Structure 1
Amino acid sequence: MDDGNWPLSILIFLGFILMDGMLYGFGAAIQHLNSGTLEKEAGEGNKKAERLLAVLERPAEFVNTVQIVTNLIGLISGAVILRQAGAFLETMIHKTGLRMEEPWTALATAAAAVVLLAVLISLGIVIPKRLASRKPEKWAYRFLRAAGLAVLIFKPFAGLVSGLSWLILYPMGVGLHDKSDNVTEEDIMLMVNEGHEQGVLEADEAEMITNIVELGDKQAGDIMTRRRNVAALPASMTLGEAVDFILREGINSRFPVYGEDIDDIRGILHLRDAVACAQSQENRGKQIDQVEGLLRTAHFIPETRNINPLFKEMQSQKIHMEIVVDEYGQTAGIVTMEDILEEIVGNILDEYDEDEEMISRREDGSFVFDGLTPLEDVSKELGLAFDGEDSENFDTLNGFLISRLNRVPREGETPQVHYGGYLFQTISVENKVIHSVAVIPEGENGLREKPEPGADLPL
């Protein structure tokens, strides 16, 4: 069999790769262009920027035509590759004098075709799209004329395909250019992850966008400062004592004020108001709740309040602290504007705050967790899936461990829990709460010998 057509076939194959790469790269580039930058350049007299803006005004039409052309190229190149690969293999087998049965010849032909198609897809699609996504302006300017010419040549064929598609879709009540309104959170997250992988978004930017998207799934009970950690002042405290306490501790600027107990919230004391009123010696000797106009109105919300509308409400009404109550009307905790912002941007520290890490990793591969670390964060850090019952009934590592122990450890005790291939060793207990926990992987890559209960662990 004559293989004299192989040089021409190779040239055609390379031409397909170049055309595919140009069109796929250009299509990816125009989807990543910044219209604001183009408008600025067009205003400065850049003709190519003006033409690109014209393309961006009808991106669907242009991209659809590009996709049709690239699909056509794929079909033609596939046919050429299969035909020429088979002919080439038969020629090579004939020249070597080998005799190969028909099934093996077919398999060899298919293998050669797969290799050539992989080359076409890699060089003509994947690599150009990735490069164009990283430098969209450079690719768009370079291939604007060539891509425009290719689209113009194949526009009649693209019109024919669109017409046939419309004839099929119209009876179904679907328009050819209808857009889906059902954009989901998953779609947004896929775009964010792709942008991060391609270098368009930095890691902290991608994380912030993710936090914003996930904010709508959270409730006040998920982010509140819990009851036992709330710094509140008794209404019976004098204003002078309150100011001295606030200035000495320096932990907050706003404090809930309670009557008989923490469930009887009377109002919110602001540091600025307290200092202003304390200028009067008469006021300094009065109880907090007896100083006229000192306490601000306390606002109450349920634990189930969604964070998104809560954030908007706090913004519009200039509220910086909400009291969270449970289903029995008891104080469950507080939510501040800072708590909500920290869900988006991460922990916010001022010059007086100490940076206390909830999770720290040690050189030996083990971890130290704060007992109040959310169970979700523990799961992410360890790659450990907690049982549905555990993850639903408990929010923190402390709650999970107490459930497993079936008791509240006493101060000085260091009980252990084995779970999911990890040893959870209590380090310290304070005020009926497991304060810190060492988590050590077990098995071949972890502990060779399990320590005895109460044994000291390296901290």
Structure 2
Amino acid sequence: MNQEALYQLATIGICLVGSALFSSAETALTSLSHNRIHQLLDSGRKSSLLRLWLKKPNDVLTTVLIANNIVNILAASLATAFSQQQLLRLGLGDRESLAVGLAVGCMTLIILVFGEVVPKTFAKHNAENIIPFFPLISGVYYLVLPLTRVLVFISGSVVWLGGGKFSHQGPLVTEEDLEWMILRGHKENVLHKEISSMLTGALDLEDTVAREIMMPRTKMVMFEVNETLEEVWEQHREHNYSRYPVYDEVPDKIIGIFYIKDLLYYLIDPAGKTFSLRELMRTDLYFVPESKNVREILTELKTKQIGMGIVVDEFGGVAGMVALEDILEEMVGEIYDEYDEPAHHFIEEKPGCFRIQSQYLLADLEEHLHVKTGLPLDRGYDTVGGLLMDLAGRVPLPGEVFTWPENASEPGNEADETIAPQLSFTILAATETTIESVRMEILQQNQEDTKSRPEPSPA
């Protein structure tokens, strides 16, 4: 074998190494997420190519493809010339077609295995191990930059004419991406169930309003500003709250918040003093509309250094109150102290049959049951009790039964049953003004939901 043939083989080998390098770089760059690249750069990893990839991914990708094609074509051409020389050396004559066939067949197999499959497979699972070779790609980038710009312009024009997008727009990570990552983290046992629930709850604060988490006015315990010490103490012994709204004459006229711990200042030295809620209460009130975002409420409570806000409706009347504890419970679940009795808002009595409190949110039913219920979420009420009052047109009596959808059994509505299950609600306890508890049964459910629904967790 003469010296020229050795040079050809050596050059072919260099081209194969280059092909493997460019192929692995292509796969490594596309395998690394933008978030991971930012993380690497922020941690001190130096790579000009990674920075270029973030700014001009189309240019970098085009450069890699140009270089890869150049070395592959060069390797195939040299292999053809080498084959012709070896055929002449063996006395087979100048058989160009045979030389081309041998070269194309051998180089296709070699490039496919060692220039594509092996390096790309390695880079797919070891992308960060390819980063030390990126400086070579950076050098090639600037070497072929004029050609790259021309090809990027042409490809961008074709993509634009086809109605496609040529660049990424918007945030790299959306809220849906975060929720999906949290869910995957829990399924793969990377995140504990409680941690994933807390993270999901924190994300949901953005879509939750005060009306959904507040203590409604009907359940608020308030003091009239002229109540005596005995009256205040009697109510406190019954409810054991740490703070109470104080109103003047009518509950809609709240003038302060009474912290029960402030009562100690009076009890320590009551001699010569007259008990007065007006003097003991704090007047730094925080009023929020029903539709205010819970995340914003949390921020303002922290800024104002207060523990609760009074929720008002569109007419200025008191609708309820929201405390820091209510917001925390949205993230971590129910919080009980030594005076609280565990609340059972949702109990599964048997498969498909549940006992629920009337204040249970309709939006939470689908999330809890993992079933599309088709319940209305935009009719001016948010709870199961509100739905049943709307269906009855009054406050229902214990023992009354309602179904949803109302017309599910009428002819012509069979198609709706395949979309949402038919639900039955039985009133278990109610007063003259409100529903307290309900039994809900899933009467009919489409087959797909039946197979996919996991067992509900106790609430």
Q: Same fold (TM over 0.5)?
A: yes
> Match of 1:173?
none
Cα pair distance change 1:428/1:30, threshold 3 Å? closer
1:187 aligns with 2:174: yes
Q: What TM-score comes out, normalization by structure 2 length?
A: 0.62
> Match of 2:389?
402
Cα pair distance change 1:195/1:261, threshold 3 Å? closer
> Match of 1:93?
none
Superposed, 1:196-275 pairs within 5 Å as 196-197=183-184, 202=191, 208=198, 210-243=200-233, 245-247=235-237, 249-250=239-240, 252-275=241-264
- 1:391 partner SS: coil
Contact 2:288 2:311 in 1 (8 A): yes
Q: What TM-score comes out, normalization by structure 1 length?
A: 0.62
State the shift of 1:332 in Å: 0.6
Cα distance between partner residues in 2 of 1:121 and 1:380:
46
> Match of 1:82?
none
Q: Deviations over 1:291-316 (max 9, x none)?
A: x2444343333323344443333222
State the shift of 1:56 in Å: 5.3
* Matched AA of 2:28: G
Cα distance between partner residues in 2 of 1:416 and 1:58:
63
- 1:268 partner SS: strand
Cα distance between partner residues in 2 of 1:427 and 1:216:
33
Cα pair distance change 1:121/1:394, threshold 3 Å? farther
Contact 1:255 1:269 in 2 (8 A): yes
Cα pair distance change 1:238/1:218, threshold 3 Å? same
1:60 aligns with 2:47: no
State the shift of 1:227 in Å: 0.8
* Matched AA of 1:255: Y
Cα distance between partner residues in 2 of 1:37 and 1:180:
21
Q: In the comparison of the two structures, how many residue pairs are matched? A: 364
State the shift of 1:22 in Å: 5.6
Cα pair distance change 1:195/1:288, threshold 3 Å? closer
> Match of 2:320?
333
Cα distance between partner residues in 1 of 2:350 and 2:69:
56
Cα distance between partner residues in 1 of 2:363 and 2:426:
19
> Match of 2:426?
426
> Match of 2:417?
none
State the shift of 1:271 in Å: 1.6
> Match of 2:343?
356
- 2:424 partner SS: strand
Contact 1:366 1:441 in 2 (8 A): no
* Matched AA of 2:401: P
State the shift of 1:397 in Å: 1.1
- 2:378 partner SS: helix
* Matched AA of 2:374: F
Cα distance between partner residues in 1 of 2:122 and 2:363:
37
- 1:367 partner SS: strand
Superposed, 1:144-155 pairs within 5 Å as 144-150=131-137, 152-153=139-140
Contact 1:218 1:306 in 2 (8 A): yes
Cα pair distance change 1:147/1:180, threshold 3 Å? closer
- 1:266 partner SS: strand
Identity, in percent, stands at: 22
Contact 1:240 1:284 in 2 (8 A): no
Superposed, 1:10-159 pairs within 5 Å as 20=23, 23-25=26-28, 27-29=30-32, 31=34, 32=36, 34-35=39-40, 38-39=43-44, 49=45, 51=46, 58-60=52-54, 64=58, 67-68=61-62, 131=125, 139-140=127-128, 142-150=129-137, 152-153=139-140, 156-157=143-144
Q: Deviations over 1:429-450 (max 9, x none)?
A: 233214232332426879xxxx
Moved more, 265-274 or 293-302: 293-302
Contact 2:210 2:291 in 1 (8 A): yes
Cα distance between partner residues in 2 of 1:25 and 1:349:
50
Contact 2:347 2:356 in 1 (8 A): yes
Moved more, 157-166 or 429-438: 157-166
Uncovered stretches (5+) of structure 1, i.e. residues with no partner: 1-11, 40-48, 80-116, 133-138, 171-177, 447-459
* Matched AA of 1:242: V
Cα distance between partner residues in 1 of 2:19 and 2:181:
27
Cα distance between partner residues in 2 of 1:363 and 1:124:
56
> Match of 1:5?
none
1:413 aligns with 2:399: yes
Superposed, 1:297-376 pairs within 5 Å as 297-362=284-349, 364-376=351-363
Contact 1:402 1:408 in 2 (8 A): yes
Uncovered stretches (5+) of structure 2, i.e. residues with no partner: 1-14, 74-111, 158-165, 406-419, 449-459
Contact 1:27 1:63 in 2 (8 A): no
